[in-house]
Structure formats: structure tokens, C-alpha cells
Amino acid sequence: MAQSNGKTVLVTGGAGYIGSHCVVTLQEAGYKVIALDNFANSVDDGCDGSIALKRVEKITGEPVTFYKCDLLDTVYLERIFQNHQIDSVIHFAAMKAVGESMQYPMLYYKNNIIGMINLLEIMKKYNIYNLVFSSSCTVYGEPEKLPITEEKRIGQSITNVYGRTKFFIEEILKDVTNSDDKWNIIALRYFNPVGAHGSGLIGEDPTKQFTNLMPFISQVAMGKKEKLTIFGNDYDTPDGTGIRDYIHVMDLASGHVAALHKLEKSHIQIKAYNLGTGRGVSVLELIKTFEQTNNVKVPFTFEARRHGDISTMYADPSLAERELGWKATRSIQEMCSDFWRWQTMNPVGYKTVLTNGHNH
């Protein structure tokens, strides 16, 4: 059990993929965690609890106070703020599938933007001004120069609605901060989070048909899907496939603790940081590493580029290293082996009944 640091963090979207991993890291750093989630993209235990968070409790030995709550339900949301003395908020809760966002733009604008506004209003009412916001490198749009630094102007040529919700929210946060200098906000621009906690107890369990690359690779390796489709082999990259900056989800999680420490030490009003490794890896390289690390086969075919995809994106993460004292340390091999451990221990995700007869 970790030594308490006496601080309480509210984690919205705490039952989700990144949220649940972050709760582990927060508890290990001594924070008391209150989590909320509406299960839009996470798995409940049938009694309004989160299977992922029950497993987090197993990993850390610490309880997580959990509320099934939608950020659009301000009455219930406010009750949480009335019930707890909250020091800071980490806001993950949002819709995040790029393809889905193009089909249902209003759903994305309503959930992501109104959800953020509701949270900001209630935080202000309860005098809580420390906020870490989940942003994304999609706010940069098509990069002109790589690696990408935080100095690049955001909001230009964003290719999808999901990315625009993150951009609009960053702009809202700047306006809010300009209007009231009590706000102390860090926006973390994630690159491509992959991997899972080393225990294999928690990981990514996509509940939607729109999947990212690593879960898809792993489903093919499991034999659940026949083959992977690689979207485009005619990009201007060494092997023709798209390049991304894949970051281990536990490194991403520790970036949030570093951001909270920064907000506790200094009043910065608002600042954005890239959370990436600084290394670009192609689709083919990721497949090869996954195959070699896990001794599996991942058959694939090439198809046309996916609409809205960019060619290459990787971070300059040096600002986070200088100012937050944070650096990603885990390798691509670790991302592949940790993801595979989670996948093989939980072939049907959180609905898998573990060897002890429970799914949590």
C-alpha cells in the first residue's frame, strides 16, 4: 500500500483504458481517487460498478470510490463534489473514436464539449481550479515539421470531428483561464497510447467496432480476425506505411502524476505538453515487433489509405521532460508484450472469467 499524500483527485472517465491505468499510478503515488464514468466505452459489472477499477484495487490494494455518472447530468455530478473534498481533477471522459465522430458529430460535440463545460462550472463553484485535461496530438493537424513541438499552432487542418472537439476545448480552457487567473490547467497532448499494465489485469477492451491498430493486431494474432488491413503502403515513409509515436499507457499514466505535481507546485494558468516517446514507428515495424516479441503471426493485406489519416506524426517530448520531469521509458517490445499478456489472459476482455472464477 502506498503512503497517502493527503490529496484527493477526481478522475472522470476513470473506468476507461487510459483512466484506469492512470488510477493505478495515482494510487501508487499516494493520491486518494474518486472516479466517475458513464460506461460509454468501458465495461460495468452489472451493478453499476467498473470491472477495470475492481481490478485496479487488486493491483494497488487501495479502494477506488466510484460513481456511475454522466457529465451531462449536472445534478448528479454536483452531488459528487458535495460529497468529497476534491483537490484536483483529471478529465479523461470523452468519446474518442475518430471514424465514429465523423458519423455522429453532434454526439461528439455534445458529450465532449458540454461535458467539459459542465465540469468547469462545477469545479469553479466548489473552488477547485487544478485541472489536467486529456488532449491529443490530433489538435496539430497535418504536421509541417517533425518532431512536432508544442509551439506549432493548433487547430489547422484537423481531419476529424473528434480532433476538433479536443482543439475547441483547449481554446475554451484558454478563454476560461484568461477570464479568471485562479485556473491552473495542463492539457496533455497524447500521441498513440498502447500496451497494458504489466499484471495483465487491466488493458484496452474496445467496446466499439472502430478499433485502433494495436487491438486489431492482437485480435488477428488471437485468430479472432482473419487478417489485418494496412491502410496505405504509398505514404512518403521508408516502408510506405503510416508512422506514429506509440507510447506505453503506463508511461502516459505517469505523465499525469507529473502534471499534477507541477500544478501543486506552481501556478501556471494554462500550458500544453506533448506526451510521446519522440520515436516514430511504422505500421509494418509495429506488426513485426509484435510478431517477434510474442512469437505469433499477424497476416495482413494492403488497402487504400484510410480517409482522414495523416502520414507521419511523432512528438518532441522534451518540454515535458524539462518542465514536468517526465520521460517515457518503456520500449515498443514492452508495449507489445504487455498488450499480449492482457489479451491472452482476457480473451474476451473484461467479461473474461479469471481463473479464480471472478471477472474482477
Binding site for ligand UFG (CB under 6 A): 96, 98, 136-138, 163, 192, 212-213, 216, 228-231, 242, 244, 283, 306, 309, 313
Q: How far is the CB of 80 from ligand UFG (least distance, A)?
A: 26
Cβ closest to ligand UFG, residue 165 vs residue 177 = 165
User: Does the bond joining 147 to the residue before it have cis omega, within 30 degrees of 0?
Assistant: yes
Q: Catalytic annotation on 162?
A: yes
Question: Smallest distance, Å, CB 245 to ligand UFG?
Answer: 8
The residue sitting closest to ligand UFG, measured at its beta carbon, is 242
- Length of the chain (residues): 360
Least Cβ distance, residue 189 to ligand UFG (angstroms) = 9
What number of other Cβ atoms are within 10 A of residue 358's Cβ?
Answer: 12
**Which is the catalytic residue, given 31, 67, 162, 273?**
162
Residue 301 burial class via C-beta count within 10 angstroms: exposed 0-12, middle 13-18, buried 19 and up: exposed
- By DSSP bridging, strand 130-136 and strand 88-91 are parallel
Q: Which one, 201 or 313, has the nearer CB to ligand UFG?
A: 313
Half-sphere exposure of 242 (CA within 13 A, CB side): 22
Q: Environment class of residue 332 by beta-carbon count within 10 Å: exposed (0-12), middle (13-18) or buried (19+)?
A: buried
- Comparing CB distances to ligand UFG, the nearer of 113 and 268 is 113
β-pairing verdict for 281-282 and 243-244: antiparallel
The number of beta carbons lying within 10 Å of the beta carbon of residue 137 is 24
Residue closer to ligand UFG by CB (options 306, 322) is 306
Residue 96 Cβ vs ligand UFG, minimum distance, rounded to whole Å = 5
Beta carbons within 8 Å of 277's beta carbon, 6+ residues apart? 191, 245, 246, 247, 251, 314, 315, 317, 328
Burial degree of 266 (CB within 10 A; 0-12, 13-18, 19+)? exposed
Query: Which grid cell is 286?
Result: 509495429
CB of 273 to ligand UFG, least distance (A): 15
Between residues 55 and 244, which has the closer beta carbon with respect to ligand UFG?
A: 244
Please, what is the minimum distance in Å from the beta carbon of residue 107 to ligand UFG?
Answer: 15
CB of 3 to ligand UFG, least distance (A): 35
**Residue 303: all three cell numbers together:** 488497402
Residues 138/166, Cβ–Cβ less than 8 Å = yes
Cβ nearer to ligand UFG, comparing 30 with 232: 232
DSSP string covering 30-61: T-EEEEEE--SSS-B-SSS-BHHHHHHHHHHS
Nearer to ligand UFG, 97 or 128 (CB): 97
* Rounded Cα distance, 97 and 160, in Å: 10
Backbone angles phi, psi at 90, to 5 degrees: -115, 120
Catalogue the active-site residues. Answer: 162
